[in-house]
C-alpha cells in the first residue's frame, strides 16, 4: 500500500508539490532566478500566512543578513576580483611554462597548473576560466594544439574553483547546512588534488600517445637559465602561495575564522596588486563595483532560496519528501544517489548558489535521519556541482569559454573536449563515495584531536 498523503490530503493537493514546476516555468520564461524564488515564496506563502507574510519574510531575511558566516562572502569575492586584475595570472602562466613546457602537452599542463593555483587564490568559479582562457587559448592555437584539447583544458581548469579551497560553494553550503567551513575546506583538499592529478595525467597520456594534439612548447619559451627561471618562479609563485597559506592555513590551523581569514586575503590581494605595480584608484573602484555586484547577486539568491525552501517546507514539503521515500523504502545509498542526481540535473538549469540553497534544507534532514555525514555528502555535492558545471549541453563552463574563445574553436570542439575531464570528475566522485575518509579524514586530524 502506498504511504498516506501528508495530513490526509492527496499528493497532488499538497501546495509544495507545485512549487518546483512553477520555478522551472519562470526560469525557462527568462525570469532571473532570485526574483522567481522570491515571487513564488510570496505567492505560496500568502496562501498559508495571509496578511502575516510580511512579518514572516522579515524574520527570515533578518536571519540571513545577520548570519556572521555570510560576511566572508564579499571578502572572498573582493580577493578574487582584485587578484584577477593584479597581473598574477600572466606571471603564473609564464612560470608554469618554464617548468612543464617541454613535456608533452606542455602548454595544456601549464594551463591546468595555473588554474589550480589561481583557483586556490580566488575561489570564484568563472573568473579563473575567463582570465586563463584569454591567455592560454591563443597560445595553444599558435602551437597547433587540438582544438578539443584546448577547450577541455580551459573549461576543466576553470571549474577547479568549485573543488579547491577557498571555494565560495563551500562557504554557502557549510553556512546553510550548519557545519564548520574549516571542516569542509579540509574535506575538499584531497579530492581537489586528486582531480588536478587526473586532469594532468590525462593530458600527459594523450599527448604522449598523440604528440600532434599537444606538442611541447617552443624552445624559445622554455630555454631560460636556471637562475632566471627560479627568479621568475619566485616572483610569480611565492606571493600567490603565501597568500593561499595565509588564508587557508589560518583556517585549517584554527588561528582565524573564515571571515577573518577572508579579510587577510582581501588585504593580501591589494598588497600583491601594489607589489606588481598594477594598483591604482581606477582599478580599485572597478574591483569594488564588481564585488558589490557579485555579492548583491549572491545575497539576493541566498534570500530568495531561503524564503523559497522555508515556504516549501511549511507547505508540506518535508512530509511530502519523507512520505515518497517511505513509500519506496530505499536504501541509504539509493537516497544519496538520488539526491546527487537531482543536484546534478538542477545544475543544468540553476546556478550553484540556488542549487545549494534550495536542495540542502530539504535533503539534509532526511540524510541526518539516515545517519549520513553532512561533511562527506558536502564534498560529493561540490564534485557533482563541478561536474554539472562542465557537462553538455547546458554546461556553464562552455558558455563562459564561448564568450572569450577564438572563432576557430566551435561548440563541437568544446563538447568533445570536456568529456574526458568529466570522466576524471566521476572517478573522483566514485573514490569519495566508496571511501568516505577521503573527505573526512583530514578534517578529523585537524579539528578533532
Q: Tell me: the pLDDT tens digits for 392-447?
A: 777 788 877 887 888 888 888 999 999 999 999 999 999 999 999 999 988 887 75
Residue 248 has a pLDDT of 81
Residue 5 has a pLDDT of 44
Q: How far apart are CA 309 and CA 16, in angstroms?
A: 10
Residue 7 has a pLDDT of 45
Grid cell of 327 as nine digits: 513509500
The per-residue DSSP string of 331-388 comes to -HHHHHHHHHHHHHHHHHHS-HHHHHHHHHHHHHHHHHHTT--HHHHHHHHHHHHHHH
HSE-CB of 83 using CA atoms within 13 angstroms: 33
Residue 2 has a pLDDT of 41
CB 361 within 8 A of CB 429: no
Residue 222 has a pLDDT of 61
Q: How far apart are CA 427 and CA 386, in angstroms?
A: 13
pLDDT tens by residue, 253-263: 778 888 888 88
Apex CA 387: angle with CA 386 and CA 392, to 5°? 125
HSE-CB of 16 using CA atoms within 13 angstroms: 23
What 141-147 contacts at long range (C-beta under 8 Å, 24+ apart), as own/partner pairs, is 141/406, 141/408, 141/409, 143/107, 143/215, 143/217, 143/218, 144/212, 144/215, 145/105, 145/107, 145/108, 145/213, 145/214, 145/215, 146/210, 146/212, 146/213, 146/214, 147/408, 147/409, 147/410, 147/413, 147/417
Specify the DSSP class assigned to residue 50: G
CB 339 within 8 A of CB 14: no
Q: How far apart are CA 273 and CA 297, in angstroms?
A: 25
Phi and psi for 122 in degrees, rounded to 5?
-115, -45
CB 106 within 8 A of CB 177: no
pTM: 0.86
Q: How far apart are CA 108 and CA 207, in angstroms?
A: 10
Phi-psi region of 180 (alpha: psi -120 to 50; beta: other; left: phi over 0): beta
Residues of the chain whose pLDDT is less than 70?
1-14, 122-127, 219-222, 326-327, 447-449
Grid cell of 337 as nine digits: 544517489
Residue 194 has a pLDDT of 95
Amino acid at each position: 500500500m502506498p504511504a498516506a498523503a501528508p495530513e490526509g490530503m492527496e499528493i497532488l493537493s499538497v501546495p509544495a508539490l507545485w512549487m518546483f514546476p512553477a520555478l522551472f516555468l519562470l526560469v525557462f520564461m527568462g525570469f532571473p532566478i532570485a526574483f522567481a524564488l522570491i515571487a513564488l515564496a510570496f505567492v505560496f506563502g500568502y496562501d498559508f500566512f495571509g496578511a502575516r507574510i510580511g512579518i514572516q519574510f522579515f524574520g527570515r531575511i533578518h536571519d540571513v543578513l545577520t548570519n556572521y558566516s555570510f560576511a566572508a562572502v564579499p571578502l572572498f569575492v573582493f580577493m578574487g576580483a582584485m587578484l584577477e586584475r593584479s597581473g598574477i595570472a600572466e606571471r603564473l602562466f609564464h612560470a608554469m611554462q618554464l617548468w612543464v613546457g617541454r613535456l608533452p602537452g606542455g602548454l595544456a599542463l601549464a594551463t591546468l597548473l595555473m588554474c589550480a593555483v589561481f583557483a586556490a587564490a580566488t575561489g570564484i568559479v568563472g573568473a579563473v576560466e575567463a582570465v586563463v582562457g584569454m591567455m592560454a587559448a591563443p597560445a595553444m592555437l599558435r602551437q597547433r594544439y587540438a582544438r578539443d584539447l584546448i577547450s577541455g583544458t580551459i573549461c576543466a581548469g576553470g571549474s577547479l574553483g568549485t573543488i579547491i579551497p577557498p571555494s565560495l560553494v563551500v562557504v554557502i553550503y557549510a553556512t546553510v547546512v550548519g557545519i564548520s567551513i574549516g571542516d569542509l575546506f579540509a574535506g575538499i583538499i584531497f579530492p581537489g588534488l586528486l582531480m588536478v592529478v587526473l586532469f594532468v595525467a590525462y593530458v600527459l597520456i594523450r599527448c604522449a600517445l598523440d604528440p600532434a594534439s599537444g606538442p611541447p612548447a617552443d624552445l624559445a619559451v622554455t630555454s631560460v637559465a636556471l637562475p632566471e627561471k627560479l627568479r621568475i618562479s619566485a616572483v610569480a609563485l611565492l606571493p600567490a602561495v603565501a597568500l593561499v597559506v595565509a588564508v587557508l592555513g589560518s583556517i585549517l590551523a584554527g588561528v582565524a575564522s573564515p571571515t577573518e581569514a577572508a579579510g587577510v586575503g582581501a588585504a593580501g590581494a591589494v598588497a600583491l596588486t601594489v607589489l606588481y605595480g598594477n594598483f591604482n584608484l581606477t582599478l580599485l573602484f572597478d574591483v569594488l563595483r564588481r564585488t558589490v555586484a557579485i555579492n548583491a547577486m549572491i545575497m539576493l539568491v541566498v534570500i530568495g532560496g531561503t524564503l523559497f525552501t522555508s515556504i516549501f517546507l511549511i507547505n508540506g514539503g518535508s512530509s511530502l519528501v519523507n512520505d515518497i521515500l517511505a513509500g519506496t523504502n530505499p536504501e541509504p545509498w539509493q537516497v544519496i544517489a538520488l539526491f546527487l542526481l537531482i543536484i546534478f540535473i538542477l545544475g543544468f538549469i540553476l546556478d550553484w548558489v540556488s542549487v545549494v540553497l534550495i536542495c540542502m534544507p530539504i535533503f539534509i534532514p532526511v540524510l541526518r535521519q539516515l545517519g549520513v555525514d553532512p561533511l562527506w555528502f558536502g564534498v560529493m555535492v561540490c564534485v557533482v556541482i563541478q561536474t554539472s558545471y562542465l557537462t553538455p549541453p547546458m554546461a556553464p563552463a562552455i558558455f563562459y569559454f564561448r564568450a572569450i574563445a577564438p572563432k576557430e574553436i566551435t561548440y563541437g570542439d568544446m563538447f568533445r573536449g570536456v568529456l574526458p575531464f568529466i570522466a576524471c570528475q566521476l572517478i573522483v566522485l566514485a573514490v569519495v563515495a566508496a571511501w568516505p575518509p577521503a573527505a573526512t579524514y583530514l578534517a578529523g586530524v585537524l579539528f578533532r584531536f
